[in-house]
Amino acid sequence: MISKLHYISQGKSPEEHLQNIQNACSSGAETVQLRLKNVKEDIVLETAKKVKEITDNFQTRLIINDYYKVAIAIKADGVHLGKTDACPNLVRKELASWQIIGGTANTLKDCEVLIDKKVDYIGLGPFRFTNTKENLSPVLGVTGYKVILEELKTTVPIIAVGGITLNDVESIIETGVYGLAVSSEITNNYNVISNFHKILLKDRAQEQIFKFDKN
């Protein structure tokens, strides 16, 4: 099952990523994405091994950003592939059957391509401008998510990403997205994780009540 809340790791060094992931896990994170950029793969591997010890201890799901071979080596729960990374179809052949694949999308067309390649979830954004992303894709905002989701009509979980704060959660979820990927808001205050969960769980409960009423 895909978590409704993903924490994307931050840090100026692998050590900072480790500490931030430790803090997120101890504060209730259900899924963590290790996102190391401009780092040699052997360093990513060694860092990922240490992260796996942390996530195993807290029974937190671990997704590796970009480096699918690292995900295979440490038996992570999955991998998240950027638009310039390896093709999901090729990576699927390398992964174990239980490992999931997420993909990055900025547009409706990106989503359609990823759905065709049978990814397990799509990270769609950015919701707003953020310095943590290298690309300069236009921000989607609430309206962008509504338009794309109305066109897609897909069962593939869509995860909103990009500068999301706690105050944005309800308006984003109302667009129909499945969940959220959050970075800075959590890194700056790990206590907000419980607040994110409360809102997301409330949405899930309302959804179940609605389905029950329909029957």
Dihedral-angle region of residue 66 (phi above 0 means left; psi in -120 to 50 means alpha; beta otherwise): left
Residues of the chain with pLDDT under 70: 131-136, 203-215
Number of residues in the chain: 215
Report residue 104 as tokens. Answer: 């990055």
- DSSP secondary structure string, 58-88? HT-EEEEES-HHHHHHHT-SEEEE-TTS--H
pLDDT reported for residue 189:
97
Residue the block writes with tokens 């990270």: 123
pLDDT reported for residue 139:
94
Cα 123 versus chain centre, distance: 6
pLDDT digits (tens, 9 = 90+) for 7-59: 999 999 999 999 999 999 999 999 999 999 999 999 999 999 999 999 999 99
pLDDT reported for residue 68:
97
Helix (H, G, I), strand (E, B) or coil at 204: helix
Dihedral-angle region of residue 162 (phi above 0 means left; psi in -120 to 50 means alpha; beta otherwise): left
